[in-house]
Structure 1
Amino acid sequence: MPRFTVFDVETPNRMSNRMSAIGITVIEDGTITDEFYSLVNPETYFDYFNTRLTGISEETVWDAPTFPEVWTQIEPLMSDGLLAAHNAVFDMNVLKRCLHDYEIEWKPYVRYVCTVQMGRRILPGMSHKLNVLCDHYGICLDHHKADSDSRACAEILLRYLAEGADVRQFIRTCSFNK
């Protein structure tokens, strides 16, 4: 079984080009082995909708590290293993835009899996929203909190794997070339 780096980001506004928080949960040999969480000062404005959804505001992050500061901490985690996220296209694009906006060089591409896409094949005929899947599997969730969301996504991924899902058929590639 590959090493998975499951991550979730929260954003300050509808532009979805900056993070206000990131949560990471690492799975090795079928077990959660590491977790990381940080608020992120996005150095931009917050929409009322996003603040209400996540509970994160300009005041919450005024002394939080910026994305480049957080990246120095998380790059080793993000570079080691197969990335995974729930609705991964969103999280991958936010990551890609942050790296681009801050002119941070990383890999030319990364491989990832999306637990929404996996769920649509494994559990057809039901909603694949994170909170619905957590209710289905009895997983605790404090929704729209990056640490809780990444942990819940990791637990869902582990359930899919335990049910015999072949992760290889769900691997996608995201280009990080400019």
Structure 2
Amino acid sequence: MSQFTVFDVETPNRLNNRMSAIGITIIENEQIEKEFYTLVNPEAHFDPFNTMLTGISEESVRNAPSFPEVWEKIEPYMSDGLLVAHNAQFDMGVLKKCLLAYEIEWKPYARYICTVQMGRRLLPGISHKLNDLCDYYGIALDHHKADSDSRACAQILLRYLQSGADIRPFIRTCSLNR
């Protein structure tokens, strides 16, 4: 696999069915080649906890594009390469729920890998929280900021690949249908 689309989303509330930000980091030939970040107007309420955690509020997304507008820009990134996220079930779930909520047709399923699951097998006995892995590898992180989180996840994946890790056992499939 020569291209990976590493992404991270932030959400406005505990329902986790909308995103308030997305960060994407593209890896090609084992190098970070492109990055994309945007706030997203979730057209939904914000829980105080999420605002405190991410620093994103209703005010900060007031003029941000909605998910369908963002999707037009990110769909080519999301369609090329293998999707990657740290705690991928969460990010894949939010992506799926956004696609369904806005009735956006994409593809019936997406292949992805989770750097948490990889880390648990490759580095047993340590914490696999994103901030702890960043400390372990000396990676800069502004936690719960989608651009920083996606870049950090990409750098973790690169460390795993450079150590000789085989991604094939970690590839999973997410159904994007109801």
Q: Same fold (TM over 0.5)?
A: yes
Task: List alignment gaps of at least 5 residues for structure 1.
Answer: none
Deviations 1:131-168 (A, max 9, x none): 00000000000000000000000000000000111001
Which residue number in structure 2 is paired with residue 129 of structure 1?
A: 129
TM-superposed CA distance for 1:2, in Å, is: 2.6
Which residue number in structure 1 is paired with residue 38 of structure 2?
A: 38
Give distance in 2, aligned partners of 1:62 and 1:40: 9
Give distance in 2, aligned partners of 1:126 and 1:158: 18
TM-superposed CA distance for 1:64, in Å, is: 0.2
Give distance in 1, aligned partners of 2:141 and 2:130: 9
Q: How many correspondences in the alignment?
A: 178
TM-superposed CA distance for 1:177, in Å, is: 1.4
- The letter for the 1-side match of 2:90 is F
TM-superposed CA distance for 1:125, in Å, is: 0.4
Give distance in 2, aligned partners of 1:129 and 1:23: 18
TM superposition outliers: structure 1 runs of 4+ over 2 Å: none
Give distance in 2, aligned partners of 1:3 and 1:115: 15
- The letter for the 1-side match of 2:137 is Y
Residue 74 of structure 2: SS of its match in structure 1? helix
- The letter for the 2-side match of 1:71 is W
Which residue number in structure 2 is paired with residue 120 of structure 1?
A: 120
Deviations 1:19-46 (A, max 9, x none): 0000000000000000000000000100
Matches within 5 A, 1:17-166: 17-166=17-166
Which residue number in structure 2 is paired with residue 6 of structure 1?
A: 6
User: RMSD across aligned C-alpha pairs, in angstroms?
Assistant: 0.5
- In percent, how many aligned pairs have the same letter? 76
Give distance in 1, aligned partners of 2:41 and 2:167: 34
Give distance in 2, aligned partners of 1:130 and 1:46: 24
- The letter for the 2-side match of 1:99 is L
Residue 13 of structure 2: SS of its match in structure 1? coil
Give distance in 2, aligned partners of 1:161 and 1:40: 31
Residue 18 of structure 2: SS of its match in structure 1? coil
Task: List alignment gaps of at least 5 residues for structure 2.
Answer: none
Give distance in 2, aligned partners of 1:156 and 1:54: 21
Give distance in 2, aligned partners of 1:128 and 1:73: 31
- The letter for the 1-side match of 2:146 is A
Residue 124 of structure 1: SS of its match in structure 2? coil
